[in-house]
Amino acid sequence: MRLFAANAALMAPMAGYTDAAFRHLCVEQGAGLTYTEMVSAVGLHYGSEKTAGLLAFADNEARLGVQLFASRPDALSSSIRYLEDRYGSRIALFDINMGCPAPKITSGGQGCALMRDLPLASRLIQAAADAAQAPVTVKFRKGWDDASVNAVAFAQMAEQSGAAAVTVHGRTRAQFYNGRSDWGIIAMVKAAVRIPVIGNGDIYTAQDAAEMRRVTGCDAVMAARGALGNPFLFREIKSLFESGAVLPPAGFEEKATALLRQARLACAARGEAAAMRQIRKHAAWYLKGARGAARLREAAVRVTTYSNLKDLLEHALGCVLDIPEP
C-alpha cells in the first residue's frame, strides 16, 4: 500500500495548527499527505466530543493521516477501532506520536517520554498494528537529550513491533525546536531499517527538501513550521521533485488571499468567534516577511471578525482582494 503520493512532501501534524481549514490549502498546493492535529487516544476512548472534533476532514481530502498520542495500549486500540468504523478507508494511516516535547504530554508518559521506555513504546505499536486495518507509523525524535540519542534503536524497535514507516525529527527533546535539525541521524535510521523513513526538521524551502533527501536517502520529507503561513511550499517542493523546476515564492498578495480563504473555511466550520481566535495564530506566520510585518502582526492578533482581517490586509496592500470560493 502506498503511504503517500509520488511527490513525497507531507504536511506534519501540529497541535493547534493543522485543522481542516489549513489542510484544505495544503492539499490544493500538492501536499502528498496531510495529518490531523495530535489527538488523544484516551479522549477518544472515553468519548470526548471535543477530541473527536479534531478529526473533521477537509472537503478536498480524500485520505487523511490520523496522529494519536497515548500511553495506554487499550485506549490506543479502542480509538483506532472506533475511527476505522467511522471513517473506513478514508484514513490513510495512523501515526503514533512519540516525539512531542511538551511537558504536559511527556509528564503523562506520552510523546517523547516514550523514547525512554522502549518496552511500553513497543507494546503501544503492537497494539495499534493489531487493531488497525490501515498502516501504523511512528513519529519520534533523535533522542531525549544529547546523552541519550537512541533514534536508531528506537526505529529498529518500531519496525520489529509492526510499524509500516517511521518519521524522524532530527532534534532531541531537550532542544524542543531550537538549534539545527540533525539530518545525519535520519540517514543513520534510513540505513538501519527496511521500512520507509520520513525526514522531518528544517524544511523551509523546496531546496531544503531536495537536500534532505540527498543527504539522508529518506523516502519522503515532512514539512512543519516551514509550511505555516506558506502552504505554497508544497507546490514548490512538488515542482522541484517532479520536474526540477524552481518556482518563485508566493508574494504577499497571494499569501493574504490564502489567509482570508483559510479564515472563511474556518468560520464556516466552527463559527466566526472560535475561528478567528485560531486564525490570529496563523496570521502571524502569513505576515512574516511582509512590508511593515511587525505592525501588521500587532494588529492581526486583535482581529475578532473576518471583516476586520480583510480590511487590515486590503489596507496593507492598497487594493481590494477578490477572495475565490474554497
User: Would you please indicate which residues are annotated as catalytic (active-site) residues?
Assistant: 100
HSE toward the beta carbon, residue 223, CA cutoff 13 A: 33
DSSP per residue over 95-106, as a string? EEEE----HHHH
Q: SS3 letters for 204-227?
A: CCHHHHHHHHHHHCCCEEEECHHH
DSSP per residue over 111-130, as a string? GGGGGG-HHHHHHHHHHHHH
Number of helical H runs and strand E runs in the chain: 14, 8
Under 8 Å between Cβ of 3 and 137: yes
Cell of residue 209, nine digits = 527538501
Strands 9-11 and 220-223: parallel
Q: 60, exposed or middle or buried, with CB in 10 Å at 0-12, 13-18, 19+?
A: middle
The C-alpha cell 504536559 sits at: 104
DSSP-assigned beta bridge partners for residue 137: 95, 165
